């Protein structure tokens, strides 16, 4: 029953969020702010993690294919497909669930306990739409960009680690990256990223919007936002993989 109650509140919140905005200009300004706060500020952590992720994938692939019958270019191919199909979309989403999701939940939760949301409602403003919709738009726009950045930096990190460790030449690595490339894999990764971005933003906003109590409850809502978002990301990762790659 608790799950159904939460699901009902979540659906009601989404209905309020996607209602017609009163003043589009205000939403535009808010969206630009969220693009910087939720999107651009995440480039650093995504870049660092992607670089070392690509490095680790390349080295592990190399050490697991030391048999002479395997051509070296398979190391680059394995790095490319692992990063594009799984790591840059799913792992990046889990990272953003921790960084962006907790920020959204704590920000909205703080607005709730300090009665800023109540003040907006008194003034006749649709608080759910005004606060949450720009965040959703910003993440849907910028998270695919973060995924593409992650793919590029991950492959660069894999190439640098492989050549510096002496497990593969740069020529073989580049050949492996180009070998039998399927452009649809990029589309698949972007589609997953869009679903994950929506999950992170709406679930985190939901946890913050319905906070009751004080600062302790805001902290709990932030934790719930990360946990619930991560679980849903993993579940939808399996579902989307079956639907899009079958």
> What value, to the nearest 5°, has the Cα angle with vertex 50 and ends 145 and 56?
155
User: At 22, is the secondary structure helix, strand, or coil?
Assistant: coil
CB 38 within 8 A of CB 135: yes
Q: How far apart are CA 19 and CA 122, in angstroms?
A: 18
Query: How many angstroms separate the first and last alpha carbons of the chain?
Result: 35
Q: What is the predicted pLDDT for the residue at 47?
A: 94
CB 163 within 8 A of CB 171: no
Rounded to 10 deg, the angle between the 215-245 and 102-113 helix axes is 140
- Distance between alpha carbon 39 and the CA centroid of its chain, in Å? 10
**Phi-psi group of 214: left, alpha or beta (phi > 0 → left; psi -120 to 50 → alpha; rest → beta):** beta
Q: What is the predicted pLDDT for the residue at 167?
A: 86
pLDDT tens for each residue of the chain, 246 residues long: 678 888 899 999 999 998 877 677 778 888 899 999 888 899 999 999 999 999 999 998 888 776 666 788 888 998 999 999 989 999 999 999 999 999 999 999 999 998 898 898 888 888 889 899 999 999 999 999 999 999 999 999 999 999 998 888 899 999 999 998 999 999 999 999 999 999 999 999 999 999 888 888 898 999 999 999 999 999 999 999 999 987
Other CB atoms within a 10 A radius of the CB of residue 122 amount to: 10
Q: What is the residue extent of each domain of the chain?
A: 24-245
CB 207 within 8 A of CB 105: yes
Q: How many residues does the chain have?
A: 246
Q: What is the predicted pLDDT for the residue at 62?
A: 86
CB 135 within 8 A of CB 104: yes
CB 167 within 8 A of CB 76: no
User: At 240, is the secondary structure helix, strand, or coil?
Assistant: helix
- Distance between alpha carbon 6 and the CA centroid of its chain, in Å? 23
CB 21 within 8 A of CB 137: no
- Distance between alpha carbon 159 and the CA centroid of its chain, in Å? 24
């Amino acid at each position: 029953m608790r799950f159904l109650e939460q699901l009902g509140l979540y659906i009601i919140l989404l209905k309020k969020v996607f209602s017609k905005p009163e003043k589009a200009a205000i939403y535009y300004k808010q969206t630009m702010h969220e693009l910087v706060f939720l999107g651009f500020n995440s480039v650093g952590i995504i870049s660092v993690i992607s670089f070392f992720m690509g490095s680790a994938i390349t080295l592990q692939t190399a050490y697991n294919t030391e048999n002479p019958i395997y051509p070296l270019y398979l190391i680059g191919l394995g790095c490319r497909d692992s990063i594009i199909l799984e790591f840059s979309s799913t792992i990046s989403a889990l990272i953003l669930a921790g960084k962006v999701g907790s920020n959204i939940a704590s920000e909205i939760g703080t607005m709730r306990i300090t009665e800023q949301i109540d003040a907006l409602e008194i003034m006749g403003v649709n608080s759910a739409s005004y606060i949450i919709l720009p965040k959703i738009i910003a993440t849907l726009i910028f998270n695919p960009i973060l995924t593409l950045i992650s793919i590029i930096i991950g492959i660069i990190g894999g190439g640098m680690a492989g050549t510096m460790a002496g497990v593969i030449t740069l020529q073989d690595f580049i050949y492996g990256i180009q070998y039998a490339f399927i452009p649809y894999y990029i589309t698949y990764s972007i589609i997953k990223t869009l679903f994950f971005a929506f999950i992170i933003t709406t679930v985190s906003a939901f946890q913050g919007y319905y906070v009751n109590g004080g600062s302790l409850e805001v902290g709990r809502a932030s934790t719930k936002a990360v946990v619930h978002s991560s679980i849903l990301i993993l579940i939808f990762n399996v579902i989307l993989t079956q639907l899009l790659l079958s």
